[in-house]
Amino acid sequence: MLDGRIVDMASLGTAAAAGDDPSAAITTVELPPGSVVLPAFVDEHVHIFAALAARTSVDLSAARSLAEVLDLLRVAADAARRHPTGSGAVRAWGIDEFDLAERRLPSVAELDAAGGDVPLVVHHRTGHAVITTTRTALAPAGDGRRDPTGARWRVLAEEAERLSRELAGLGVVELCDTSDGNGAEDLRALAELGLTQRLRAMVGIDAVSAPNAVSAANAVSAPNAVSAVGGVWSAAADTGIDIEAVKVMPPRCGLDRVADVIRRAHAAGFAAAVHAVDIDELQAALDGGLRPGDRVEHAGLCLPEQVARLAASGAMVVTQPTFVTRRAHKYRAALSTVEQAWLYRVRSLLDAGVAVRFSSDAPVVPPGPLEQVAAAATRRLGPHERVDVATALASVCRPAAVGDPADLVVLAADPFDVEQAAVAGIGVVATWRAGELIHGDPRRWPSAPPPGARR
């Protein structure tokens, strides 16, 4: 690499031989035995603040009965009650009724009994449901990014540093935050976290378009839209966070308004990214005017005839292969055998010409690009949707070509030389983002070479 970018070794050799830069030396770094270099990884669908909040909340994800859930909440309420600040509020995360023997969530009465005088806010693993006690008014709102005291923010910032290190250790150099509520303030808050990873983000429709706006370029008919777009673009320019798309959430806007939100996003000059877990959400997206540059998030259930329409639309699908492995018990319980064949497709989408990228949807499941690769290659639910390791890697690696930023990873083993299921366990020895070493032994690996230096 040269100045943090990928270069062609043949051209370097030619330049050196011609004496164009006689002071520049090419340094060869020997790889550990069996290791390989690949383009670094991208997680195309995460919720950064939700992930940080989950990591600093009471973790209910391992509970397998309501009794276990309520015991964990009772202990947390007791601890909050004894806390010196007397804040007396508990935030919990990770509950899913399909993980519990009773196959249901706790009632408000059960939460009230567990919390007593301590307000409880319990977030579903998916992030799409919240259960609260009757003392909710006293509980902290949101995930802490707008905490006026700054105490919660400091906790999140410290956790962000840990998360960033873990992601670098997984070979991840780029994230796309897909939270639908993002606006200008949220972009600035994301930047303030100081993550090592390069960031892109989606924004909510209200951040870029007034409800009745026909065109955000028309300041007379849509002054609010122009102001909103300007604020978002200004925040993006100030923070260096690229705006990926407007997030379209059918559970919030309603299926009958998906087309309108897509239209407003396009009119404001943005791509649209539609949350589509169910068949009807995907159908609303397909009927709503998807076009090249747009995205479908999840495509959780996709009918055979919808595959062809996705291909015709030119939209990309961002899916989650580890859902099919980590949450298989949920899908087996909730879906028929026929429906399971439509679940989180990969092979059939690629065969139809649909661009597919993988992601974690963290905090729903933990980040892990190599686990995603292994899941896509070995899935048992819908085995006809399996792909080979090379194809799966292409869906997690950052595209790399001469002149691109040197985003690279060194893997401890060659993913093509191990059993497909074992790919998930391959360690990451070193990670570079644009030539800067963000994971690995600095005594062993070069980092951030100065201008003119070659590695």
Together in a domain, 203 and 75: no
Together in a domain, 337 and 393: yes
Give the model's pLDDT for residue 136.
Answer: 65
* Residue 295 resides in a domain: yes
Considering only the C-alpha atoms of the chain, give the largest distance between any 2 of them, rounded to a whole number of Å: 80
SS3 category, 42: strand
Report in angstroms the alpha-carbon separations of 112 from 71, 185, 438.
13, 34, 45
Q: Tokens 């802490």, residue?
A: 144
The whole-number average pLDDT for the span 16-21 is 54
> In percent, how much of the chain has pLDDT > 70?
85
Q: Do the bridges between strand 90-95 and strand 120-124 make them parallel or antiparallel, or are there none, so unpaired? A: parallel
Identify the domain boundary among 90, 119, 138.
138
* Residue 5 resides in a domain: no
Residue 59 pLDDT class (50, 70, 90 cuts)? very high
Residue 150 pLDDT class (50, 70, 90 cuts)? confident
Together in a domain, 216 and 76: no
Give the model's pLDDT for residue 33.
Answer: 93
Together in a domain, 246 and 127: no
The DSSP annotation for 389-444 comes to HHHHHHTTBPP--TTSB--EEEESS-TTSS-GGGGGGPPEEEEEETTEEEES-TTT
Per-residue pLDDT of 381-429, as tens digits, reads 999 999 999 999 999 999 888 888 889 999 999 999 999 999 999 999 9
Please provide the average confidence, as pLDDT, over all residues in the chain.
88
Amino acid identity at 281 = E
* Residue 420 resides in a domain: no
Say yes or no to pLDDT of 450 above 60.
no
Contact 261, 287 (CB under 8 A): no
Per-residue pLDDT of 82-132, as tens digits, reads 876 655 689 999 999 999 999 999 999 999 999 999 999 999 999 889 999
Q: Which two tokens stand for residue 368?
A: 């892990």
More confident residue, 300 or 206: 300
Percent of residues in the chain assigned helix, strand, coil, to nearest 5? 40, 20, 40
Give the model's pLDDT for residue 153.
Answer: 85
- CATH value at residue 119: 3.10.310.70
- Residue 138 DSSP symbol: G
Q: How many C-alpha atoms does 421 have within 13 Å on its Cβ side?
A: 4
More confident residue, 187 or 84: 187
Per-residue pLDDT of 332-366, as tens digits, reads 999 999 999 999 999 999 999 999 999 999 999 99
Beta-carbon contacts of residue 383 (< 8 Å; ≥ 6 apart): none
Cα 432 to Cα 441: distance, rounded to the nearest angstrom: 12
* Residue 411 resides in a domain: no
Identify the domain boundary among 138, 167, 190.
138
* Residue 264 resides in a domain: yes
- CATH value at residue 330: 3.20.20.140
Together in a domain, 259 and 337: yes
Containing H/E element for 144?
none
* Residue 22 resides in a domain: no
Together in a domain, 94 and 228: no
* Residue 450 resides in a domain: no
**Residue-range definition of the domain harbouring residue 220:** 41-47+178-399
How many domains does the chain fold into? 2
The whole-number average pLDDT for the span 28-56 is 94
Distance of CA 204 to the CA centre of its chain: 16
Beta-carbon contacts of residue 396 (< 8 Å; ≥ 6 apart): 41, 42, 357, 358, 369, 370, 372, 373
More confident residue, 41 or 128: 41
> In percent, how much of the chain has pLDDT > 90?
74
Together in a domain, 189 and 88: no
Contact 194, 158 (CB under 8 A): no
Together in a domain, 208 and 343: yes
Give the model's pLDDT for residue 154.
Answer: 87
Together in a domain, 303 and 209: yes
* Residue 236 resides in a domain: yes
Say yes or no to pLDDT of 50 above 50.
yes
Identify the domain boundary among 399, 417, 436.
399
Together in a domain, 245 and 328: yes
The whole-number average pLDDT for the span 10-22 is 56
The whole-number average pLDDT for the span 8-14 is 65
Residue 451 pLDDT class (50, 70, 90 cuts)? very low
Count of residues for the chain? 455
Together in a domain, 284 and 385: yes
Angle at 376 between CA 370 and CA 381, to 5 degrees: 135
Together in a domain, 189 and 130: no
